[in-house]
Amino acid sequence: MTIQLKNITKVYSTIDMDTYALDNINLEIKRGEFIAICGPSGSGKSTLLSVLGTLEMPDSGQYYFNEQLISAYNLKQQKNYRRSNIGFIFQNFNLMGDLSVLKNVMLPLASTNHFNFAKSDVLARKVIDKVGMSHRLKRYPNELSGGEQQRVAIARALITAPNIILADEPTGNLDSQNGTIVMDLLKNINKMGTTVCMVTHSKENAAIADKIVTIRDGKIE
C-alpha cells in the first residue's frame, strides 16, 4: 500500500481573499509507516489529514492510492474508499451519546451493504478487548473518562480493519497518563502492520513516529 500526493493544493476562498490551506504538497506514505504531521496552528495539518481521508478533495493535484487516482473519484467512490481503507480518530472522540460502547464500535459496520448483527457484535467485542474496554461494553460515552472515550474511538476505527489510521490530535484532550495509554495503543496498532498518520502538537508523540512531516503556511518544510 502506497499513498502518493502530487502537487496537492487546497484553497479556501472568501470575497476578499484566497487562503492556501495546502500549497503544492508532495508526500509519499508507505505501508506500515508511522507518520507524524507537525506544525503551528493554522498551518494546514488538519486539512492535509482531511484530504488524505477524502473528507475534503483537493482543488488541484493528484492523490494516488496503490496507483489508483483517488482525486478523480466521485462522492460514492470516495465513500467506498474511506470505508474500505481508512479509520479515523478525532481529538473530540465523536462518539454517539445515545449509543453504548458496543454499539458505537459497531457503527461503521452498520453502513455496509452486508451488515450482519451477530458477526458485527462478535467483531466489535474483539476490538474493544484489544483496547482494554471490555468492562465498559454497556456504558454510554457520558459515563466514561476522556481516556476511555478515546480508546473506544480507537476500537471504532479498527473494526473495519483499515489500511491506514488517520488520527487528528488523538491525545489533545487527555491528561499525560491517558495520553500515554493512547499512544501505546497506536504504536501497537502500527506494529501489527497498520499505517498510522497522526497530526500532533506534541514533540514527545512525534518522536515515536518513523517520519515527521512539518508543515507551515500550507507548505511542507
Q: Does pLDDT of 111 surpass 80?
A: no
- The answer to whether residue 113 scores a pLDDT higher than 70 is no
| CATH, domain 2-220, list 3.40.50.300, 1.20.1260.10, 3.40.47.10, 3.40.50.1980 | 3.40.50.300
Per-residue pLDDT tens over the stretch 87-109: 999 988 999 999 999 999 998 88
| pLDDT greater than 80 at residue 115 | no
Predicted pLDDT at 200: 93
Average pLDDT of the chain?
92
State pLDDT tens for residues 137-186: 999 999 999 999 999 999 999 998 999 999 999 998 899 999 999 999 99
47: Cβ contacts below 8 Å, ≥ 6 apart: 10, 21, 22, 56, 218
Residue 28 sits at the vertex; the CA angle it makes with 73 and 156, to the nearest 5 degrees, is: 65
Asked if residue 127 lies in contact with residue 75, where contact means CB atoms within 8 angstroms, the answer is: no
Task: Grade residue 118 by pLDDT with cuts at 50, 70 and 90.
Answer: confident
Q: Is residue 149 within 8 Å of residue 105, measured between CB atoms? A: no
